[in-house]
């Protein structure tokens, strides 16, 4: 019995099953890393309000907690993290993608920057650093798709059995948060 062959078959089967589940939930799967996607996850999403751009990734829960805890201890880096996140996000939204770097391609960069950003927020602290998993969502409010000034607005949803939110469910939560924010912060929308 070739253990490496069996392990390869296992990860290939996991990839097919997971991509089928994600596809059924309304997500377009461009990258899948079986080993990184196994076990308890934190799901990270971003939404750009004027364009409707939505993107999602998952990260092993232990790794997410490690990264966000480490970043939370480095407040001098917070502004650079926010700027880097917006740079990659604006590139993804406009189709002017940043080149691959030592941090990986734009999707790997975006996922890592979203985790870094999470570590800078009070939202994450209030959610017990998401040690129990869940969904960390970052909305990017700006007045128009050409505007570079924006407000990042994070929120957290509880764990849903270590499964991704469907695209429709995420859209519903985003709509609810936007309704609240339009009342509390109308200046973000004018």
State phi, psi for 87 to the nearest 5 degrees: -60, -50
8 and 71 both lie in a single domain: no
pLDDT of residue 188: 87
pLDDT for 177 beyond 90: yes
pLDDT of residue 37: 52
> Cα separations (Å) of 161 from 20, 58, 60, 143?
18, 14, 14, 36
136 and 180 both lie in a single domain: yes
165 and 185 both lie in a single domain: yes
Encode pLDDT of 59-83 as tens digits. 999 999 999 999 999 999 999 999 9
Report which of residues 6 and 43 the model is more confident about: 43
88 and 163 both lie in a single domain: yes
Minimum mean pLDDT range among 18-32, 95-109, 110-124: 18-32
Q: Is residue 18 part of a domain?
A: yes
Q: Which two tokens stand for residue 125?
A: 């602290």
This prediction's pTM: 0.81
Q: Using CA atoms, how far apart are residues 129 and 30, in angstroms rounded to an integer?
A: 28
Domain residues for 7? 1-29
Encode pLDDT of 23-71 as tens digits. 544 555 555 454 445 689 999 999 999 999 999 999 999 999 999 999 9
Q: Is residue 34 part of a domain?
A: no
Helix 106-118 to helix 78-94 angle (10° resolution) is 140
Number of compact structural domains in the chain = 2
Longest dimension (CA), the chain: 65
Mean pLDDT across the stretch 135-143?
95
> What is the rounded average pLDDT for all residues in the chain?
84
Q: Using CA atoms, how far apart are residues 87 and 110, in angstroms rounded to an integer?
A: 9
Query: At 73, is the secondary structure helix, strand, or coil?
Result: coil
């Amino acid at each position: 019995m070739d253990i490496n062959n069996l392990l390869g078959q296992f990860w290939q089967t996991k990839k097919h099953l997971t991509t089928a589940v994600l596809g059924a939930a309304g997500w377009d799967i461009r990258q899948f890393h079986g080993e990184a996607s196994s076990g308890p996850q934190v799901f990270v999403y971003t939404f750009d309000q004027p364009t409707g751009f939505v993107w999602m990734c998952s990260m092993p829960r232990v790794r997410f907690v490690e990264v966000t805890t480490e970043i939370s201890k480095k407040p001098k880096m917070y502004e650079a993290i926010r700027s880097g996140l917006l740079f990659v996000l604006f590139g993804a939204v406009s189709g002017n993608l940043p080149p691959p770097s030592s941090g990986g391609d734009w999707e790997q960069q975006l996922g890592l920057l979203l985790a870094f950003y999470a570590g800078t927020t009070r939202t994450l602290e209030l959610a017990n650093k998401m040690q129990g998993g869940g969904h960390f969502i970052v909305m990017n409010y700006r007045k128009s798709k050409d505007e570079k000034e924006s407000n990042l607005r994070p929120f957290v949803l509880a764990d849903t059995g270590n499964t991704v939110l469907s695209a429709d469910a995420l859209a519903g939560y985003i709509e609810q948060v936007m309704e609240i924010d339009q009342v509390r912060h109308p200046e973000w929308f004018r």
